[in-house]
Structure 1
């Protein structure tokens, strides 16, 4: 498999404050990664560092062999990093369909395919972004990222605060992306067991450093270790 993303001894943060320290990992095309850890350990900071929003103090980030260090966020998106932020960022004056078409780039993910994955969005295609429920907004945020035809999808807490029936639907979608579509995915998720069930590999952060790196199945099978690492019940 071709290497898609390489993070090499990265230290990064906000201004002079360093949040991530000496972080290294790599992903090939089609890999799926659960990014786990307690609140405030740097999971979201790692995603936004990949998008170029933090300050890179040391280390390197390579994308498809090229250096990302000085590449602006919008060019990273065009290069194939699809980011679904925790805040969703809906535009109140755009319809669902406008949210999708305004970012569309050539590739297999078309409006028709997105609507097939998210039939509820087809039903709501003429509604404004602020007229959607929280679950529908999350569907739209993921669908909008897919319309950019990303090579890797960065999901930041995609299940947070959603009703169980919506969580089930989003789990189905993420599983399809990983298993059927072969999309590279990084999932930041507080529900560690759920994230592990969706991915092949797991990294656990603590105080901005990687403290565990293994396949997801083995960590999921070792409940005691998982509890110690991420404090889940």
Structure 2
């Protein structure tokens, strides 16, 4: 399969401060990746670096074989990077449906398809952004990214602070995207075992460096190594 995304020796950060150091990996079309590590090791910074929101000190970022290091964030989004930030970025003055339609771009993901994936959103399509629970806001954030018809979905802590029943709904949706739709996905998630169960491949960061790179199944099966790498219970 064709290479979709590649990082080659990426060192990046904020201003003069370095957060990521010499990060390299590549994803093919349809690949899914769990991005793991303790708090503060650079996981979110890697996603925002992909979106062009940090300072790239060294290295290259290739998207479909082309260097995107100088592309603005909105041009990266138009090229097919769908970002679901941890903050969700809801607009209180927009309804659920307006959140989705305002960003819509041509492609297979339509309003009807995202409503089929998240029926709860169709029920609340006329609710304003500030009238939604945290879980519903997360559904809107994912559905909104899908409406841009991305080639890859970047999910930053999608399960954080949500009720178990909502987590189950989101897990089903992400699993459907990966397994049934063949969507390329990078998931940053503190619940390491959950992330590994959703993805094909895993990378662990420590102090901004890649310290582990394997298939998700083998890391999930090696509980001792997983606990040591990400300090989970």
Q: TM-score, normalised by structure 1?
A: 1.00
Shift of 1:214: 0.1
Give the corresponding residue for 2:133.
133
* Structural RMSD (CA): 0.3
3-state DSSP of counterpart to 2:40: coil
Deviation readout 1:79-110 (Å, 9 max, x if unpaired): 00000000000001000000000000000000
3-state DSSP of counterpart to 1:20: strand
Give the corresponding residue for 1:62.
62
Deviation readout 1:32-58 (Å, 9 max, x if unpaired): 000000000000000000000000000
Give the corresponding residue for 1:182.
182
Residue ranges of structure 2 left out of the alignment (5+ in a row)? none
Residue ranges of structure 1 left out of the alignment (5+ in a row)? none
3-state DSSP of counterpart to 2:109: coil
Give matches, 1:12-31, under 5 Å: 12-31=12-31
For residues 130 and 54 of structure 2, the distance between their equivalents in structure 1, rounded to whole angstroms, comes to: 28
Tell me the number of residue pairs that the alignment of Structure 1 and Structure 2 aligns: 233
Q: Spell out structure 1 runs of 4+ moving beyond 3 A.
A: none
Shift of 1:20: 0.1
For residues 204 and 3 of structure 2, the distance between their equivalents in structure 1, rounded to whole angstroms, comes to: 21
3-state DSSP of counterpart to 2:165: helix
For residues 127 and 8 of structure 2, the distance between their equivalents in structure 1, rounded to whole angstroms, comes to: 43
For residues 138 and 176 of structure 1, the distance between their equivalents in structure 2, rounded to whole angstroms, comes to: 16
Give the corresponding residue for 1:207.
207
Shift of 1:70: 0.5
